[in-house]
Structure formats: structure tokens, C-alpha cells
Copies of this chain bind each other. A is one copy, B any other.
């Protein structure tokens, strides 16, 4: 009955609420104007869905933003207290320069649309300009597959952009020159990440594999964000060399992190932000995929944590906290490529395998004397490969396309990063002096220690 009432009501509304006279101006009129402004009658039925989708986009952007605090505290916690100011400074730099360069050229390079210079491969373009008004603010901008305004699209992607450079920050910690890192990270985030990203998310050649039928699939960026960062980090670490005193004649001398609470804060914040990272990658508030993505993301992280805990108990003979924390992150990276296309139990397997891989990978890199203070290459690089390939095993993607995508992005990231960092090394050096390394970068480079107990 109510349904009838409701159906009739608006019609009657004309009559019942006095539409003999023109309607009083009120909230509904304001609303209808808004709907009409938002693409006109054509788009009206979808206006509210669009509104909630756009809201989710900006909230997800804020959640991805807080991942940068997660990276900052995780990296700081896992390194020595004498290099803490340096790490925090690098993270302030990266989020700031990442957002700015993404506005200046990154967004239009990442998504060249019709302005490729080399179609499918390269489209370096200019600033965003004014993205508001007209279709940019409406449902017409991206339809259901990108249910956000152009500004929503920009800010969500901008928050992603800085992530790749942040991953490198952890791997080069405790010995990189701050000026050199500032230049390197700017080039990486402005050009490296955006070019590689355009191959996949920008509609470039990776998305067109198999005539588009068997395109490379990387839902939220196991490869194009995390793998990219991990491979870029590896190149830098090879050029930089290990920290003094880490690998001695008498074997590996662990350099312990200075604050496990900071590290734990970092991992929990990253886990929290990952709900925005993966969840926001649904690109709308579509309830079906949204619920699935939150569930697979959480379960993969949990499985990664549990797996790392048990493996560390077996291999290291103790329940190791830093392995447990890396296990959570390993699970998260492992599900990022396929969060929308696997079942909960598959996500548990994907995360658990990631949690096993990360422990052995960290031990392996240490064995071959590649010194990565926070395990970034293992967490983001190695688990990124697993996560991306796993979409072929579980999520129905083409294995060949996944493999091509991994090889292409990792190779590009490694070579781009190596070339840029090597040139910077030739021009101005990339590593602080032995005295500065011993003193710590905080005082040597920034003139102030992180802690002053009194």
C-alpha cells in the first residue's frame, strides 16, 4: 500500500502540496537543480549512486594518504634512532613532491587518454588545470567503471603515486644522501611510476594484451605500485651497497630497529590504509565488489601474519615480531592484484603463501648481502610477483599476460631506477661518508637528533 502511496505521492505532490501555485522553493528544488546540473535528466537516476561512489573515492584517498604515515613510522621503527629524522623527512618530502608532480604532469602522463606521444607506451603531458564543472563533475566522466569526478580521480591516484617512492625510501635507509634522494624520488614519482602505470591503468599496451581479451590484470597494484617500488628499490640498493658493519668476516651482524612500537604503528596504519587502497580501487561504491574486496584484503593479511609467525617459529626458533609484521604486509601485497576476483578461502591461501615467501626472501637477500633495512624488496617486490601471478591461478587471468606484465614493469622499474640513481651517483654521489654514516644522518644531514631525553 505504501508503495502505491509512494508511487502516487509525487504525482499528487503536484496537487496535494499545492502545485496549483508554483512550488515553494525548498530543499527538493535545490536538490533537483543539483541533479540537473549534474548531467541533466539523462543521468538523474544515477545521481545518488554517483554521489556515494564519489564520497567513497575521497575517503579512500584519505586512507591511502595515512599509509604514508604508516611507511614513515614503519621505516623509522625498523632502523637506528640516529637516522630517524632523516627517514621522517624523506617521507614528508615524498608525499609532498608526489602530490605536486602528480598535479604538474603525473596525472596526465599516467592517463594520457588521447595524448600519447608513443601510443600505448609513452604519453608525458602537462598540468591538470581546472578539472571541475561540466561532465568532469558528473557521472558522465567515467560511468560506472570510474564513478567519481575528475578531481576524485586525481586525488585518489595522486595518493597512490607517492607510494612507489616511499618503498624505495625504506630500502636505502641509513646511508643515502638526502639531496640525492630528493632528486631521485622526484624523477621516479613524476616519470617512472606514471609511465609504467600508463601501460596498465592508462589504457596502454599491457591492458591491450591478447587484443584486450587477455589483458594484464592487476586490480589495485601488486605489480604496478608495489612491484614497481620493490624493483626500483633493488636497483638503488645494488648501487648503494650495504650499511657499514652489516656483513662482516664473522657473518651477518643484525642492525636492530630502534623502536618496535613505531614499527607496529606503521604496519597497522598500512593495514588500515590498505582498505582504502584496495577498496577504493573498486572505483565506485558498488556493494557487491566492495564487500568482497574488504573481506579478501583482511583475510589475506591475517593469513600472511599467521603464516609468517609459524614459519619464523620454525626457522628462527622464536615468535618474531618483525616477521609477523612483515607477514601482514606480505599478505596485503599478495592480495592486491586479485582482491576483487578470488574467494575468501583463496585469499587466505594467497596471503599465507605470501607470508611464507616473505620470511625466506628476507633471509635470502641477507644471505646474498643485499642490505634492505626494512625488508621492502621482499615485501613489495617479491610478494608483488606472487600476488600478480596468483590472479592467474585463482582469479582467472591469463598466466602469460600476468608474466609479461610482471617482467615488463619490474624490468622497466629496475632499469629506470638504476639509470637515474647511477647518473646521480656520477654527478653528486648517492652515499654519505663513512663518518656521517657512523654519526647518523640526523645530525650529519639535518643538524638535529630525533630524540632528546631530558
Contact = CB atoms under 8 A, between A and B. Distances in A.
A250 interface: no
A348 interface: yes
20 contacts: A1-B22, A3-B10, A3-B28, A5-B12, A6-B35, A10-B10, A31-B45, A48-B52, A55-B56, A66-B268, A96-B309, A97-B302, A129-B345, A152-B290, A152-B291, A154-B291, A155-B291, A155-B294, A257-B452, A261-B262
Interface string A152-185: 1011001100000000000000000011001000
Given A99-B302, A149-B287, A268-B66, A6 B45 contact: yes
Interface residues of A, number: 161
Interface in A3-44: 3-14, 16-17, 19, 22-23, 26-36, 38, 40-44
Given A54-B285, A88-B261, A92-B267, 7 more contacts: A14-B41, A38-B288, A48-B49, A58-B290, A93-B305, A130-B344, A319-B445
Contacts of A251: none
Interface stretch (A135-143, A191-199, A384-392): A135-143
Contact of A34 (B261, B286, B445): B286
Contacts of A324: 89, 92-93
- Residue of A11, A72, A140, A294 with most chain B CB atoms under a 10 A cut-off: A294
B155 A305 contact: no
B103 A344 contact: yes
A53 to B, nearest CB: 8
A343 interface: yes
Contacts of A93: 305-306, 309, 324
A161 to B, nearest CB: 11
The 4 closest A-B pairs by CB, nearest first: A151-B291, A13-B41, A9-B41, A7-B10
A275 to B, nearest CB: 4
Contacts of A80: 452, 454
Interface string A81-113: 110110011011101111110010000000000
Contacts of A208: none
A150 interface: yes
A181 to B, nearest CB: 10
Contacts of A285: 51-52, 54-55
Contacts of A63: 62
B348 A100 contact: yes
Nearest to A145: B30
- Residue of A10, A16, A32, A343 with most chain B CB atoms under a 10 A cut-off: A10
Interface string A302-343: 110110010000001011111011001000000000000001
A374 to B, nearest CB: 15
Given A66-B272, A99-B302, A294-B58, A321 B92 contact: yes
B272 A69 contact: yes
A298 B6 contact: no
Contacts of A58: 275, 279, 290-291, 294
A119 interface: no
Interface in A231-277: 256-262, 264-265, 267-269, 271-272, 275-276
Contact of A36 (B6, B59, B179, B445): B6
A450 interface: yes
A61 interface: yes
B450 A328 contact: no
A326 to B, nearest CB: 11
A211 interface: no
A325 B132 CA distance: 30
A256 B366 CA distance: 37
Given A1-B16, A344-B131, A299 B103 contact: yes
A83 B294 CA distance: 33
A85 to B, nearest CB: 5
Given A65-B275, A97-B306, A328-B96, A10 B42 contact: yes
B5 A41 contact: yes
Nearest to A291: B151
